[in-house]
Amino acid sequence: MSNPILAVSPGGIAAIVIGSILTLFIVVALITYAVSFNALNKAKLKVDSALSGIDVMLEKRYDLLTKSIEVVKAYAKYESTTIHETIKSRTNLNEIMKFDGQLTSDFKGLKVVAEAYPTLLSANNYLELQKQIADLEDNLAASKRLYNSNVTYLNELIVNFPTNLFARKYQKAEFYKIDDIKRRDVKIDL
């Protein structure tokens, strides 16, 4: 007794094998497409995010440096005015002492106090500004490296098998480039 359900003709076996192979091929192709599509989208988002990070750093550099430079300039001007006023007062005091002709011990003590110069702190401000500039430039360089790294990854996905089969709608991303004028160092006029 043969089971009619299990009875398959030789042509039927071939059809089942071919159908199974086609089904397996379609499933593998769909999985490959989904994985490739997601990898391309993820890489594109990373490129966009890294480019935005560069913009954030450029804006931070602009805001911080313009404000810091103004603060350093104002403080340097204040110190310059203070030191000039101190020197002028000392000169005036010496003129008064020449006319008086006699120095008393109280007046000598006053002269010592008048000749004491104020503590100048603008040098510390300049050093802090230099540190801020160095930190900002380091962070900006790191942002640019991250962007270019993400561009490299996206471009590799676009050209490498199997993602290149599904990357028709994607274009290679451009590496970070700047205008020639921006290649020059920032002029800091203090």
The answer to whether residue 4 sits within a structural domain is: no
Is the separation of the CB atoms in 57 and 143 below 8 Å? yes
pLDDT in tens, 151-163: 999 999 889 888 8
Is the separation of the CB atoms in 123 and 83 below 8 Å? no
The answer to whether residue 2 sits within a structural domain is: no
In the 8-state DSSP scheme, what is residue 117?
P
The answer to whether residue 5 sits within a structural domain is: no
Interacting residues of 27 by C-beta distance below 8 A, sequence separation 6+: none
Whether the full predicted model's pTM is greater than 0.75, yes or no, is no
- DSSP-based three-state secondary structure for 34: helix
In the 8-state DSSP scheme, what is residue 162?
T
The answer to whether residue 163 sits within a structural domain is: yes
The answer to whether residue 170 sits within a structural domain is: yes
In the 8-state DSSP scheme, what is residue 170?
-
Give the pLDDT score at 178: 75
Mean pLDDT of all residues in the chain? 79
Does position 112 have pLDDT exceeding 60, yes or no?
Answer: no
The answer to whether residue 80 sits within a structural domain is: yes
Cα dihedral value 46, 52, 55, 59, nearest 10: -130
Main-chain dihedrals φ then ψ at residue 6, nearest 5 degrees: -85, -10
Place of tokens 């599904």: 166
Domain tally, the chain: 1
The answer to whether residue 125 sits within a structural domain is: yes
Q: Which domain holds residue 171?
A: 10-183
Cα dihedral value 22, 23, 28, 34, nearest 10: 120
Longest dimension (CA), the chain: 144
pLDDT in tens, 129-155: 788 888 888 888 888 899 999 999 999
The answer to whether residue 70 sits within a structural domain is: yes
User: From the CB of residue 123, how many other CB atoms can be counted at a distance below 10 Å?
Assistant: 10
Least confident of 33-37, 62-66, 79-83, 109-113: 109-113
